[in-house]
A = this chain, B = another copy of it.
Amino acid sequence: MITQKAKYALRALTALAEADDGEPVMISDIAAQQKIPKKFLEQILLDLKHQGIVVSRRGKQGGYLLLKPADMITFGEVLRIIDGPIAPLPCLSITAYRKCDDCDGEQTCQIRHVFAKVADATRKVLFSTTIADAIAPARGTQVTRMLA
């Protein structure tokens, strides 16, 4: 299960993508539209900003904007920022690799190579699907970008 926080992050990004007209969108607007607790959303957007997914404008008339085009933001990168590693085992993580302390020998680990397949399958979906795909479901995965 992904966290509630990750769901909020993805929803917020789709909201930003849909309103993408060069004008910043206020946290309060996104919060209201997507039913996200405002103060919680503040933290989430701040994270996304620190990680280079969105930019903000402060003061009156401020708000948030996507930093990259919506078809360049994948579900995978958002999930990594918010929920951490995609991999089902630490020893399969690309961004946060850690040796399993209870298994000796990754070549021989009976569990590991099964979950390697799971990780591959999951990544294939998550990194080929973008925020743009999410707001235009009919067009199917990656089509937006491939036609561009």
Which A positions have Cβ atoms within 8 angstroms of B? Answer: 1-2, 7, 10-11, 14, 34-36, 75, 84-85, 87-90, 100, 102, 110-111, 113-115, 117-118, 121-122, 124-126, 129, 133-135, 137, 141
A interface, by DSSP: helix, strand, loop or mixed?
helix
Contact between chains at A110 and B11 (CB < 8 Å): yes
Structural contact, B2 and A88, CB atoms closer than 8 A: yes
Query: How many angstroms between the C-alpha atoms of A1 and B36 in the bound complex?
Result: 25
Enumerate chain B residues within 8 angstroms of A135, measured Cβ to Cβ.
110
Report copies per complex: 2
Min CB distance A39 to B, Å, is: 16
Q: Please judge, given known A-B contacts A89-B7, A121-B125, whether A114 and B75 are in contact too, CB under 8 Å.
A: yes
A125 contact set on B, CB distance < 8 A:
114, 117-118, 121
Complex contact A7–B102 (CB within 8 A)? yes
Asked whether A111 lies within 8 Å of B89 as measured between CB atoms, the reply is no
